[in-house]
A = this chain, B = another copy of it.
Amino acid sequence: MPYFDAASSLPPHPVARQALLAAFDDGWADPSRLHREGRRARMLLDAARETAAEAVGCRPDELTFTSSGTRALHTGMAGALAGRARAGRHLLVSAVEHSAVLHAAEAHRAAGGTVAEIGVDRGGLVAPADVAAALAAGPAAALVCVQSANHEVGTRQPVADIAEIGRAAGVPLLVDAAQSLPWGPVAGAWSLLAASAHKWGGPGGVGLLAVRKGVRFAPASPVDERESGRAPGFENIPAVVAAAASLRAFRAEAGAEAARLAALVDRIRERVPRLVPDVEVVGEAAHRLPHVVTFSCLHVDGEALLHALDRAGFAVSSGSSCTSSTLTPSHVLRAMGVLSEGNVRVSLPPGTTEEDVERFLAVLPEAVAGVRAQLTPPTVTGGAGRAGGAAEPAGTGTFTVDSLGKRCPVPVIELAGAIGRVAVGGVVTVLADDAAARLDIPAWCTMRGQEYLGESPHGDGPGTAYRVRRLV
């Protein structure tokens, strides 16, 4: 049963299993103890640090093992921000960072700091010029955070160029390398780097935090003597050994696998829009991870599609609102301004075969069609009569759709059903309170060649009024 959710977590690499077992017997003692068991544990820890540092491209004494990639990000950001508090309390983050970065940014704001988000283009790309502009606009920045590659759409960011801009401005760059580190070191003069072992088939419970020598860094309180004060608690040496060994093993195969998987992803990127009507492939076509492809399907509930694919034997992920416990659409897709409904992320693990991909392409159209068929057909409950804005030409008609209380993708489905109720030039207003509508109604307009006029509060009522002019 093909597992196509590699960007979420990889099955363990055989080397991880072997290394874990070996180190489980030899690496259980406290490495800070002076007895032989402690010294043996310390030697395993030191060797793992050397192996991992080589793969990261840093010195062993620049590398800390944390308990997760999230912890590495939280610790790295807090330490760099605290270390540079005198230089400034302004933090720059790209709008498509992992939620761990955005949550740490939120904590920084709550503690009195300021945060600015750097936007992306429709492919999810951060423009180095935008980083330079944000740095120039001030206030004095303490830190810039940009991921090496996006976790939802696979877009690779120009972190070497951004690091250079940061270096010129004297501002360190923290790179979340969770998605790209398995495939190769991150180029450029970054200052801090974070990663997570279960993304390369290492065990859970291990993150990496690299802090280059010379970068100001103030470890967080409470203090702890382990891992240079950067990761409190007893070191998890068997897992750390397995993480380092499996990173090296993954890298040994990465070049050939990257080429092979990139070709399979190209095939999916090309074929899906031909196989499934009303699909948008999102994310950069050129600057991307080898193994990730993401697309959104109009008029589809993402969670329902995910379940349909799971039943058909394919494990994928979704950035659609409906799969998230927060019921808000993916901040990544929102920042890109692309459709979020019916969103599917396919991320191929090493070893994925051509046959697996062909079978996926074979079952996808039916899965999408099945989900679309289950959705309630458009029930247009509004009527002509509410006056449109003054700017709209008279005589072409207005129509209001009441989608209040309905979850995505129903508002867009109802809009699609209602657009025919006005003549070309006429305006349809959709009343909706699902947060995804803010993203999906404009995206629908782009896909369908209609004009999105904007949103306004819904008078005294709940929700928001979205206005669309019929052009075709």
**A residues engaging B (CB < 8 A)?**
1, 3, 5, 8-12, 17, 20-21, 24-25, 28-30, 32-38, 67-71, 74, 100, 103-104, 106-107, 110-111, 196, 198, 203-205, 207, 221-225, 232-239, 303, 306-307, 310, 315-317, 323, 325-326
Interface pair B204/A236, CB less than 8 Å apart: yes
Give the distance in Å from the alpha carbon of A1 to the alpha carbon of B222 in the complex. 37
One of B5, B29, B107, B234 near A196 (C-beta < 8 A): B234
How far apart are A179's CB and chain B's nearest CB, in angstroms? 14
Interface pair A28/B10, CB less than 8 Å apart: yes
Known: A11-B28, A234-B9. A34 touches B323 (CB 8 A): yes
Give the distance in Å from the alpha carbon of A316 to the alpha carbon of B34 in the complex. 9
List of 9 A-B pairs having minimum Cβ-Cβ separation, nearest first? A68-B233, A67-B67, A205-B236, A35-B315, A107-B221, A103-B222, A70-B233, A204-B236, A107-B222
One of B9, B71, B225 near A67 (C-beta < 8 A): B71
How far apart are A107's CB and chain B's nearest CB, in angstroms? 4
Interface pair B222/A207, CB less than 8 Å apart: no
Give the distance in Å from the alpha carbon of A3 to the alpha carbon of B196 in the complex. 34
Most chain-B Cβ atoms within 10 A of its Cβ — which of A205, A310, A317? A205
Q: Which residue of chain B has the shortest Cβ distance to A8 in the bound complex?
A: B30
Inter-chain contacts of A323 with B (CB < 8 A) = 34
Inter-chain contacts of A34 with B (CB < 8 A) = 303, 306-307, 310, 323
Interface pair A29/B1, CB less than 8 Å apart: no
Inter-chain contacts of A204 with B (CB < 8 A) = 28, 234-239
Give the distance in Å from the alpha carbon of A466 to the alpha carbon of B271 in the complex. 85
Known: A11-B28, A28-B9, A221-B107. A3 touches B236 (CB 8 A): no
Q: Which residue of chain B has the shortest Cβ distance to A199 in the bound complex?
A: B234
Inter-chain contacts of A100 with B (CB < 8 A) = 222, 224, 232
> How often does this chain occur in the complex, in copies?
2
Interface pair A35/B234, CB less than 8 Å apart: no
Q: Which residue of chain B has the shortest Cβ distance to A302 in the bound complex?
A: B34
Inter-chain contacts of A5 with B (CB < 8 A) = 29-30, 33, 35, 37-38
Q: Which residue of chain B has the shortest Cβ distance to A16 in the bound complex?
A: B24
Give the distance in Å from the alpha carbon of A283 to the alpha carbon of B29 in the complex. 24
Known: A29-B9, A67-B205, A232-B100. A1 touches B221 (CB 8 A): no
Interface pair A236/B233, CB less than 8 Å apart: no
Interface pair A28/B71, CB less than 8 Å apart: no
How far apart are A316's CB and chain B's nearest CB, in angstroms? 7
What are 30 pairs between A and B in contact, CB < 8 Å?
A3-B37, A5-B29, A5-B37, A8-B29, A8-B33, A9-B28, A9-B29, A9-B30, A12-B25, A28-B198, A33-B315, A34-B306, A34-B307, A34-B323, A35-B315, A35-B316, A36-B315, A38-B315, A68-B232, A68-B236, A70-B224, A71-B232, A100-B232, A103-B221, A107-B221, A107-B223, A203-B236, A204-B235, A205-B205, A236-B239
Inter-chain contacts of A303 with B (CB < 8 A) = 34
Interface pair B310/A233, CB less than 8 Å apart: no
Inter-chain contacts of A25 with B (CB < 8 A) = 12
Inter-chain contacts of A21 with B (CB < 8 A) = 17, 21
Most chain-B Cβ atoms within 10 A of its Cβ — which of A33, A207, A237? A33
Give the distance in Å from the alpha carbon of A28 to the alpha carbon of B199 in the complex. 10
Give the distance in Å from the alpha carbon of A170 to the alpha carbon of B196 in the complex. 42
Inter-chain contacts of A24 with B (CB < 8 A) = 12, 17, 20, 203
Q: Which residue of chain B has the shortest Cβ distance to A205 in the bound complex?
A: B236
Q: Which residue of chain B has the shortest Cβ distance to A303 in the bound complex?
A: B34
Interface pair A233/B207, CB less than 8 Å apart: yes
Give the distance in Å from the alpha carbon of A5 to the alpha carbon of B33 in the complex. 9
How far apart are A437's CB and chain B's nearest CB, in angstroms? 23
Give the distance in Å from the alpha carbon of A299 to the alpha carbon of B413 in the complex. 85
Inter-chain contacts of A239 with B (CB < 8 A) = 203-205, 236, 239
How far apart are A203's CB and chain B's nearest CB, in angstroms? 7
Inter-chain contacts of A38 with B (CB < 8 A) = 5, 8, 315
Inter-chain contacts of A222 with B (CB < 8 A) = 74, 100, 103-104, 106-107
